[in-house]
Amino acid sequence: MKTESDTYSAVGEVGAVHERRSLWTRTIIDLRKAPYTALFGMIIILAYALVAIFAPILAPYGEAQVFPEPYAPWSSTYIFGTDQIGRDIFSRMIFGARNTVGIAVATTFLAFLIGGILGLAAAINRSWLDQLLSRSVDVLMAIPSLIFALVLLSIFGSTVTNLILIIAVLDSTRVFRLTRAVALNVVVMDYVEAARLRGEGLGWIMRREILPNIMPPLIAEFGLRFCFVFLTIAALSFLGVGIQPPTADWGSMVRDNASLIMFAQYDLKAGLTPLLPAAAIALLTVAINFVVDWFLHKTSGLHDE
């Protein structure tokens, strides 16, 4: 580091070795400048990740462990009470972080893998492949994805693998559109042409020439897509055709305990129980939106008005 001095000398300034900031220091500097909402979002996301990873250690009881007392009230034994067949709700919330969020993350990754690769290929190829892919995506996007997912689930049945595959394929259409659109701006650059002329293959151009230059919008989209996938899976589970019992999942937990809400007049805590998993879903999506907002603001260089 350059030593601070009271007097300013041009020689000192020029002579000082330009030190390249490490990734770590740059991250720290960025974080210091981040608004409170973004910091709040990051802390929440981190907390969810920790809960998901250490679920078996944190949860007081097992995921599907049944106790003789169904609909037990909140107490020190059962922090948020028990559900309709006597499973500890607090433990199931913790395991739910692992299942619901884990499945959503896997789905989003798969969607980006499919949509990203096809989008880049379409942008580079620009001929029959682009036409074929773009038209098929147009058709897939003409049906609302929840309805399409319902049709496909009724055919293939509701298993976790099917759920991940179906939602990933349906969501990859959006990723495809975005990747293709941003990649088209980069494909026309001279350095891509140069790479092509020196005989690089499709894979190299995708990975080394285009991908690094379209990363920021893709990362932001990853956050938003994740929210969307997460909400879709939660909605499907809530409808009873998503993640199936006894796997602990926030969407189906809301549905299972929904009747408790009518007891709120007599016992407010019981009435709040079905809202807890729903609030867990909402909190994560809000947190991600805050972080994505800040990230977009930071990378775009655009400022409101």
Partner 1 sequence: MHPVIKTVLGRLAMGIATLFVVSIIIFSSIEYLPGDFAKNILGQAATEETTAAFRRELGLDQPAVLRYGQWVAAVVQGDLGTSFSGRNASGVDRSRQVVDLIAPRLRNTLFLASLAAVVAVPLSLLLGISTALYRNSVYDRSVNMTTLTTISFPEFFVAYILILFLASLYPVFPSLANVDAETPLGERFYRAALPALTLTLVIVAHMMRMTRAAIINLLASPYIQMARLSGASPTEVILKHALPNAWAPIATVIAFNLAYLVVGVVVVEVVFVYPGIGQLMVDAVASRDIPVVQGCALIFAMTYIILNLIADIIGILTNPRLLHPK
Chain residues binding partner 1 by CB under 8 A are 138-139, 142-148, 150-157, 227, 231, 234-235, 238-241, 251, 254, 258, 261-265, 268, 271-272, 274-275, 278-279, 281-282, 285-286, 289, 304-305
Which amino acid would we find at residue 251? G
Query: Using CA atoms, how far apart are residues 276 and 274, in angstroms rounded to an integer?
Result: 6
CA nearest neighbour of 213 among 193, 199, 192: 192
Nearer to partner 1, 155 or 197 (CB): 155
Question: Shortest distance, CB of residue 149 to partner 1, whole angstroms?
Answer: 9
CB of 283 to partner 1, least distance (A): 9
**Helix, strand, coil distribution of the chain in percent, nearest 5:** 70, 0, 25
The residue type at 126: R
State the nearest-atom distance from the C-beta of 97 to partner 1, in Å. Answer: 16
CB of 17: closest distance to partner 1 in angstroms?
A: 44
User: Smallest gap, in angstroms, from Cβ of residue 78 to partner 1?
Assistant: 21
* Residue among 124 and 168 whose Cβ is closer to partner 1: 168
Q: By C-beta, is 235 or 296 nearer to partner 1?
A: 235
Least Å from the CB of residue 48 to partner 1: 14
Q: What is the DSSP letter of 235?
A: H
CA distances from 83 to 79, 90, 91, 231, 255 (A): 12, 10, 11, 23, 11
d(CA 24, CA 14): 25
**Judged by CB, which is closer to partner 1: 90, or 263?**
263
Length of the chain: 305
Helices (H) then strands (E): counts for the chain:
15, 0
Nearer to partner 1, 52 or 227 (CB): 227
| Residue among 209 and 221 whose Cβ is closer to partner 1 | 221
> Token match 């990363």: residue?
215
